[in-house]
Amino acid sequence: MELFYYLFINIFAFITMGWDKRRSIRKDWRVPEKHLLLLPLMGAAPGILLGMYIWKHKTKKPLFYIGVPILYLLHRLLIMPTLSDALFYLRSWW
């Protein structure tokens, strides 16, 4: 189940980066940066990073090329263990 979540969220993040790049070229409404930076905290840092380099989008912004790896580490070190413990507890409780 967790594998499907991480696949989905990373594919979603990758597509969102491409969509935002396309919107920026067209000078259209864009995805707010705070929303793009929320995705790595949800486990989508690989999708965001891949999208940054495939689409060449947000690669010159330190908030992204430094911030996304830091948010990924925060997710791996703080959020994921807590979530895994909670899921283990819930599974053992049922």
Q: Which two tokens stand for residue 16?
A: 């969102």
- Quick check: 31 and 23 in contact, CB under 8 A? yes
In this prediction, residue 87 has a pLDDT band, given cuts at 50, 70 and 90, of low
**Residue 10, pLDDT score:** 95
Q: Within its chain, how far is the Cα of 60 from the centroid?
A: 18
Stretch 5-24: mean pLDDT: 96
Q: pLDDT-based confidence at 94, cuts 50/70/90?
A: low
In 3D space, the residue among 72, 9, 64 whose CA is nearest the CA of residue 34 turns out to be: 64
pLDDT at 80 over 70: yes
Residue 32 has pLDDT above 70, yes or no: yes
Rounded to the nearest 10°, the torsion over CA 58, 59, 65, 71 is: 30
